Amino acid sequence: MGRLLENRSIFILVACFAFYAAFSLYFLVQYYGPPFTLVVPGDIHYGRDFINVWGGGNAALEGDARSIFDRELYAQLLFQYAEQKIPLEMLRQHAFSYPPHTLFFLVPFAFVSYIPALVLWTILGIAACWKSFSTYLGGKIALLALLVPSGLVNLVGGQNGFFTAALFIGGFSQLKKNPYLAGILFGILTIKPQLGVLLALALLAARQWKVIFAAGVTCITLMGLSALIFGIELWRTYATVTLPYQSGLLKKSIGIFDHMVPSLYKSLINSGMPADLAIFPQYGLMAICLMLVVWAFLRPRNSVLQLSLLCAVTSLFSPYLAIYDLTLLTFAVFLWMSFHFKKDSLTAPRAVLGALLISLPITHLYFSAAGFYWLPLLISLFAAILVADLRGYEAPSPA
């Protein structure tokens, strides 16, 4: 190896992954704890947020889709679908926050009961994410990238981070080989619109017209079919009720939710800044992210570092981005470290930074609860380093 620190950096990573394993076990026991039943101590049911996937699919299948954005009616529906096995008060904590065309992808999980559906959701999500990650990282490293905190958070919470990362990274892997397939995957990603703003800008800057066309057709088709099947009123309710409700959540103090949204905006609110003032630093950060994406994609550069930067700034851009969405950040870190490992430049400081970034989906919960809101700063540092790397490695590499 060109640097003696190379061995030290590998030791640091191995030690960190051992720590992740021990800490993850602690997290699981603390989150669930014995006895392991459908409803466990602390009023948490298995898969927790998966209830929205399963419940939304059932609502679409049973003809109840028009009730999903009415929180009380939705809780009653979930209570009915779960055969009263999950307390109604617990179900009132949930809100269906996804755009109506998401329902198309949830219906298949409604054909089986809750636990089998959760198992199927988990297996499919892990498989899809592993497949997309392995295109860039190789199979073994991709599997490792799913076993770290971002994977654990999605596994425990029954969240969609595996699927959204698979669509995002899978689309990029097809840009040159099959741009229309890439566009279809990106069009489906509109089920999580906050992940697509910078992605759309990157595609425009890179003049990926075939991809943009396919993504646009896919999105319009899904939205049109959902309006036709479920009713245009459902879209009006989503725009006028659900989106303002979700935005309003950021301004309130709601227990653990305060620490599950690690954006600069929410961090400033948690630290005591009024929401009306906290939004301006977030706007400034969003503007910087927009400029960085245009700069990175306007002309050919190293595609690995481009994708890493896009994933990193996507994790900073939206005021409403949860810890389970940091699967993209985890991928960016693994891709960046793999890049430097191949170039014999994975130094100890880079390894330490990578390990800290990978830990964030879980450690942020504890640091935020203690009043330390360092996640936006750490990701910003990572983005700045990626910009420096892009300037240092100008020659493009194949995706």
Q: What is the mean pLDDT of residues 21-33?
A: 55
Q: What tokens does 23 get? A: 């800490």
pLDDT digits (tens, 9 = 90+) for 77-88: 888 887 777 777
If you average pLDDT over every residue of the chain, what do you get? Answer: 85
Measured between alpha carbons, how far is 283 from 271 in angstroms, rounded to an integer?
A: 18
Domain span at residue 276?
5-392
Give per-residue pLDDT as tens, 294-306: 999 998 889 999 9
Tokens of 379: 């990701």
Q: Is residue 117 in some structural domain?
A: yes
3-state secondary structure the chain: CCCCHHHHHHHHHHHHHHHHHHHHHHHHHHHCCCCCCCEECCCEECCCCHHHHHHHHHHHHHCCHHHCCCHHHHHHHHHHHCCCCCCHHHHCCCCCCCCHHHHHHHHHHHHCCHHHHHHHHHHHHHHHHHHHHHHHHCHHHHHHHHCCHHHHHHHHHCCCHHHHHHHHHHHHHCCCCCHHHHHHHHHHHHHCHHHCHHHHHHHHHCCCHHHHHHHHHHHHHHHHHHHHHHCHHHHHHHHHHHHHHHHHHCCCCCCCHHHHCCCHHHHHHHCCCCHHHHHHHHHHHHHHHHHHHHHHHCCCCCHHHHHHHHHHHHHHHCCCCCHHHHHHHHHHHHHHHHHHHHCCCCCHHHHHHHHHHHHHHHHHHHHHHCCCCCHHHHHHHHHHHHHHHHHHCCCCCCC
**Taking Cα atoms as reference points, which of 138, 135, 188 lies closest to residue 164?**
188
Residue 271: is its pLDDT beyond 50?
yes
In a domain, residue 133? The reply is yes
Q: How confident is the model at residue 147 (pLDDT cuts 50, 70, 90)?
A: confident
- Residue 298's nearest CA partner among 207, 235, 389 is 207
Question: 3-state class of 40 per DSSP?
Answer: strand
Residue 379 lies in a domain: yes
As a whole number, mean pLDDT of residues 248-269 equals 82
- For the chain, list the strands marked E by DSSP: 39-40, 44-45
Does the residue 347 lie in any domain? yes
* Confidence (pLDDT) at 280: 96
Provide CB contacts within 8 A for 46, sequence distance 6+: 32, 38, 40, 115, 118, 158
Give alpha helix (H) positions in 190-274: 197-205, 209-230, 232-237, 243-249, 257-260, 264-270
Q: With bands split at pLDDT 50, 70 and 90, how would you rate the model's confidence at 347?
A: confident
pTM greater than 0.85 (yes/no): yes
Q: Which of 399, 307, 328 is nearest to 129 (CA)?
A: 328
Residue 399 belongs to a domain: no
**Is there a domain that residue 397 lies in?**
no
398 pLDDT more than 60: no
User: Which pLDDT band, with edges at 50, 70 and 90, does 20 fall under?
Assistant: low
Q: Please count the structural domains in the chain.
A: 1
Q: Is residue 130 part of a domain?
A: yes
One-character DSSP codes across 126-174: HHHHHHHHHHHH-HHHHHHHHSSHHHHHHHHHT-SHHHHHHHHHHHHHT
Tokens 């800290």 -> residue: 356
**Taking Cα atoms as reference points, which of 301, 253, 245, 293 lies closest to residue 275?**
253
Residue 261 lies in a domain: yes
Torsion from C-alpha of 285, 287, 289, 294, nearest 10 degrees: -170
